[in-house]
Amino acid sequence: MPAGATALVLAGGLLAGTAVAGGAPSHGEDTGSSDAKQAAAPASVKVMTWNVCANSAPRKDDKGQALCANGQTDRVAGGIRWHMQQHEGLHAVLLQEICYADIEKLRTLDGMGGWSFGFSGIHDRGSGSSKGEIRKRQCAKGRGGFGVAVGVKSGDVKFDRFHYATRNVPNARDTWGHWNVKQAGVCADALGTRFCGTHFTPFKGGHGSWDDKKASEFLTSQYGQAEELAAKGKGHSRVVLGGDLNASPQQDSTVTAPLLDPLYGGYKECSQDAAGGDRTGKGTFQNQSGKRGSKLDYVFGNSSAKASCSVTDQHVTLSDHVPVTATVTF
């Protein structure tokens, strides 16, 4: 890969913006540059996960600050880069609620040389009918697909994009009115590590028990998504999994907490070492005034690894989530 180039993998299997041996663009396997050498695996990796809320309609708080930057690709991409630059030595970034155009823009910005990105868009039946055609969700204002992305600072990356199994897709309409949302994920194998980022289906509130049929349609789907994500690390000696998982960490606090048992059962979340192994962590969801709600955003590593988290106390005005940055030492 030429110096300063950034790779981008499309959800349909096309590899764009990457030079392979001989300089021709690759339209086949979603790997990085064929002439790049695999970098030595660092003892520790630093990873940032963030739901950037890039396609939600802007909402104004009493200070006139928009929490979600719908249709504002320059602002989204610039904001992601700014937060990445606050954490020196970042190896990977996991992004949710992102538009394809935002990733295209991000990779062209100054300081982003050497980064490779994989994108995968979510699918649903739209908001009209439960019998509608399953299709790719599109961002507003012609910004391409809406989904998740994983970036790694390496020129030698193999991306594996996935969607959750149909059995783990709720046969219902979500909080925003979309039917049968099929969430997506991306795994990237690079730096001797498997990095996987995703977004779990949001639980539809107003139902307080797993025995409630409307609740269980979402809860059982989310639990199945957690099982699938946990399985993505099997066979890999160094694993980082994360994203917006739309559940609380505490097992005894909310109806959604058991959703994460498959992950906590096989991995260590980055808040656990500092908490003596407890399932906890700073809130990462915020309202329009910056008041924090629950922790919804996570970074998991191998259970034998050491891990730590960093979550800003500042009001992040670009999104309704704040970034989580984790260091995982294998």
Tokens coding 294: 């629950």
**How many CB atoms within 10 Å of residue 16?**
12
CA–CA dist 244, 201 (Å, integer) = 9
Residue ranges per structural domain of the chain: 38-329
Query: Which tens digits make up the pLDDT trace of 153-208?
Result: 999 999 999 999 999 998 888 877 888 999 999 999 999 999 999 999 876 665 55
Kindly state the helix (H) or strand (E) to which residue 74 belongs, with its residue range. helix 73-85
Q: Point out the least confidently predicted range of 60-64, 133-137, 209-213.
A: 60-64
For the chain, what's the residue count?
330
**Residue 17: closest CA among 105, 120, 122, 81:** 105
Tokens coding 276: 């003596």
Confidence of residue 252 (pLDDT cuts 50, 70, 90): low
CATH number assigned to the domain with residue range 38-329, chosen from the 4 options 3.10.20.90, 3.60.10.10, 2.40.50.140, 3.30.300.30 = 3.60.10.10
Mean pLDDT of the 66-70 span: 69
CB 257 within 8 A of CB 251: yes
CA–CA dist 99, 149 (Å, integer) = 9
**Residue 47: closest CA among 330, 250, 285:** 330
Q: Name the range with the highest mean pLDDT among 121-125, 146-150, 283-287.
A: 146-150
The verdict on pTM exceeding 0.85 is yes
pLDDT reported for residue 117: 98
Cα 201 to Cα 71, 136, 296, distances in angstroms? 23, 16, 12
Kindly state the helix (H) or strand (E) to which residue 7 belongs, with its residue range. strand 7-9
pLDDT reported for residue 300: 98
CA–CA dist 31, 22 (Å, integer) = 15
pLDDT above 90 coverage of the chain, percent? 60
Classify strands 115-121 and 7-9 as parallel, antiparallel or unpaired: parallel
CB 245 within 8 A of CB 200: yes
